[in-house]
Amino acid sequence: MHQPPRCILLLLFLASGLLFESRAQTTTDPIVFTEGWVTGFGKPVKYPRYARTEFPVDPVVSRLLSGESIRPDSSQDGPSLDWEPIKADESGFFKHEYLASGGLYLEYQSPSERVVILDASGHGKAYVNGFPREGDHFGFGITKLPIKVKKGRNTFYLTSGRNPEIRASLHAAEPSVQLHADQATLPDLIQEESGFKWAGIKVINATEAVAADYRILARAEGGEEISTPLPVVEKLTSRIVPIRIPEVAGLTREEVAVQLHLLSGSGEEVSSLTLPLKNRTAASLHNRTFVSTIDGSVQYYAVQPGQVPEGQSPALFFSTHGAGVQASGQAAVYTPKDWGHLIAPTNRGPFGFAWEDWGRLDALEVLEIGKKRFQPDPQKIYLTGHSMGGHASWYLGASYPDFWAAVGPAAGYAELHDWIEHVRPVQTPVQRMFERAGNSQRTRLLHRNYLHFGVYINHGDADAVVPVRHAREMRQLLAGFHPDFAYYEYPGGGHWYGNHSADWPPLFDFFKSHRRPGSGQVRTLEFLTASPGISSQSYWATIYQQQHPFQISGVDLQLGADSLSVRGSTRNVRVLQLDLRKAEVLFPLAITLDNSQFTLEQSVAQIVLVRTDSAGWRIGNLPGREEKGPHRYGGFKDAFRHRMVFVYGTQGSPEENDWNFHKARFDAETFGYRGNGAIELLADRQFSLEAYPDRGVILYGNADTNGAWKLLLSESPVQVRRGELTVGDRVWTGEGWGCYFIQPRPDSNLASVGVIAGTGPTGFAAVHANSYFLAGTAYPDLTILGADALETGYEAVVGTGYFGNDWGVETGEFVWK
Q: What is the pLDDT of residue 794?
A: 94
pLDDT in tens, 412-431: 999 998 887 666 667 899 99
Residue 76, pLDDT > 60, answer no
- What separation in angstroms does the CA of 478 have from each of 36, 388, 394, 484, 732? 53, 20, 12, 9, 49
Residue 724, pLDDT > 60, answer yes
Give the Cα separation of 649 and 654 in Å (integer).
11
Residue 47, pLDDT > 70, answer no
pLDDT in tens, 530-549: 999 999 999 999 999 999 99
Give the Cα separation of 267 and 792 in Å (integer).
54
How many residues appear in the chain?
817
Which residues are 115's β-sheet partners? 148
Q: CATH topology for 636-816?
A: Chitobiase; domain 2 (3.30.379)
- What separation in angstroms does the CA of 265 have from each of 216, 261, 270? 11, 13, 11
Q: Where in the chain is the domain with CATH 3.30.379?
A: 636-816
Q: What is the pLDDT of residue 23?
A: 34
Residue 361 has a CB neighbour count (10 Å cut-off) of: 20
Handedness of CA 275, 281, 286, 287 (dihedral sign): positive
Q: Where in the chain is the domain with CATH 3.40.50.1820?
A: 283-515
Distance linking the first and last C-alpha atoms of the chain: 53
Give the Cα separation of 671 and 639 in Å (integer).
13
Which residues are 567's β-sheet partners? 558, 592
Q: Nearest CA to 596 among 578, 612, 579, 584?
A: 612
- Reported as a pLDDT band with limits 50, 70 and 90, residue 650 is very high
Q: What is the pLDDT of residue 239?
A: 97
Residue 721 has a CB neighbour count (10 Å cut-off) of: 15
The CATH code that applies to domain 176-280 is 2.60.40.10
Average pLDDT, the chain: 93
Q: Where in the chain is the domain with CATH 2.60.40.10?
A: 176-280
Residue 152, pLDDT > 90, answer yes
Q: What CATH number does domain 283-515 carry, 3.40.50.1820, 2.40.37.10, 3.40.50.1100, 1.20.120.160?
A: 3.40.50.1820
Q: What is the pLDDT of residue 25?
A: 37
Q: Is 569 helix (H, G, I), strand (E, B) or coil?
A: strand
Q: What is the pLDDT of residue 107?
A: 97
Strands (E), 580-641: 589-593, 596-600, 606-611, 617-620
Q: What is the pLDDT of residue 589?
A: 98
Longest Cα–Cα distance of the chain, Å, equals: 93
Q: What is the pLDDT of residue 6?
A: 37
